[in-house]
Amino acid sequence: MAIFAVMAFPRTGSSMTAGILAQHGVWTGEYRHGDDINAKGHFENLHFKQIVKKYKKTGIHRKPVFDPDQCFLDDFMLIQPTDPWLIKASAKYWRLFDSLDPIYLCVRRDRQETINSCKRVKLYFNGIEKSYDEHMYILDEIVRHKNGINIDTQSVIDRDYSSLVEAFDRSGIEFKKKKADEFVDGRLWHFNNRED
């Protein structure tokens, strides 16, 4: 079973990354569709999001020694995702998904571009710079210890899909450039370095 875990900080391109997977038939289930924040949709399963909220309250994702039996495999399976499928969430919750043995996609974007984009959609908060740095540290750890794949979303906007192709190769799914090209829209990508 191929499972993708799209791990990110807000406004880094995780919806675009998950959307490309969805265009290739990767199951997302019910998700929040396009709006002013993400015109093409969020691709974050609404039921999975509720499960993450449930476990977030327990603080289980912060425990130094994580018992996979305490994870929510059973909760996931009640939703009955079809193979292949994806999870999209904040990088800080990666340990909740680890017993699923997913292919981790570590989504990254320039720090200032990300913060500017958060401001544009009113997701800015005090301490955002520190939170961004903490997320990037977590992504580094996932790459180092869990064979995560870095996805540079500016490269994806520029039609360089090489990091995504690696993820597809691992899953055994054929990557189709035409599908990615049809989905990716640089006009929706705000605050890239070329605009500043």
6-15, 120-129, 151-160, 176-185: segment of lowest average pLDDT: 120-129
Instruction: Tell me if 192 sits within 8 A of 24, measured CB to CB.
Output: no
> Residue 130: which residues within 8 A CB-CB, separation 6 or more?
none
More confident residue, 182 or 69: 182
pLDDT at 37 > cutoff 50: yes
The mean pLDDT value for 155-184 works out to 96
Note the pTM of the prediction, 2 decimals: 0.89
pLDDT at 158 > cutoff 70: yes
Question: 181 is written with which tokens?
Answer: 């090209």
Per residue in 62-100, pLDDT (tens digit) is 655 555 555 566 676 667 777 899 999 999 989 888 888
pLDDT classification of 105: cutoffs 50, 70, 90: very high
Distance CA 85, CA 102 (A): 10
Domain 3-183: CATH superfamily, name plus number: P-loop containing nucleotide triphosphate hydrolases (3.40.50.300)
